[in-house]
Amino acid sequence: MAGGKQDQYAATFGGVNYMEFFANDKVIVNPLRVKEKWLHELENNMVLFFTETSRLSSSIIEKQRENVSNKNQNSIDAMHSLKEQSQMMKEALLRGEIDKIGQILHYGWQHKKNMAEGISNPMIDHIYETAMNAGATGGKISGAGGGGFMIFYAPYTNKYNVIKALNELGGKVMRYTFTDIGLTTWTI
């Protein structure tokens, strides 16, 4: 699938996992045993924001593919940095270093923007800067970028300042909760 299959695996398995994807279509899903108190702290400090804009993610993903095919070193380096970011995130979660999450998200955001044109734009940059100025320590856009949802890490009471600042931009701060169960089906 264009853009990978990580979202489908995350929804299917639920919980906090470290997923490894291999070129031969092999996938290893490693459940992480993160202490419950750390997950509560993480959930409390995250702010989910809907930009109320949409985009055609397939065009952004196509630009990423072209960059790789054309051996665009800036784009390839950015992808390697995002892989490194996932390892940093795993280590921070397992060690309970929850306040490092913002810095790790910020690190990833700086690199993700280099993967392809269209991941960010002036509106998204403004939203990101607004959240950071209000007390977030990092964030990212979900999916391919260009619009949709953004998530920010805002420790302590900074969360309330970030929510207030984001609400003034016209998007929508959304409620959410973590879940440790994956896809559930049933018949009637």
- The structural domains of the chain, ordered by start, are 1-32 (no CATH), 43-174 (3.30.70.890)
Q: Is 125 a catalytic residue?
A: no
pLDDT tens profile 33-63 = 999 999 999 999 999 999 988 765 667 777 7
Cβ pair 128, 171 in contact under 8 A? no
Find the mean pLDDT for residues 105-110.
95
The confidence score (pLDDT) of residue 3 equals: 62
Give the pLDDT of residue 56.
Answer: 59
pLDDT digits 0-9 by tens, 163-178: 999 999 989 999 999 9
Q: Which range among 5-9, 24-28, 42-46, 56-60 shows the weakest confidence by mean pLDDT?
A: 56-60
Q: Which residues of 138-177 are buried (b: 16+ CB within 10 A; e: fewer)?
A: bbbbebbbbbbbbbbbbbeebbebbbebbeebebebeeee
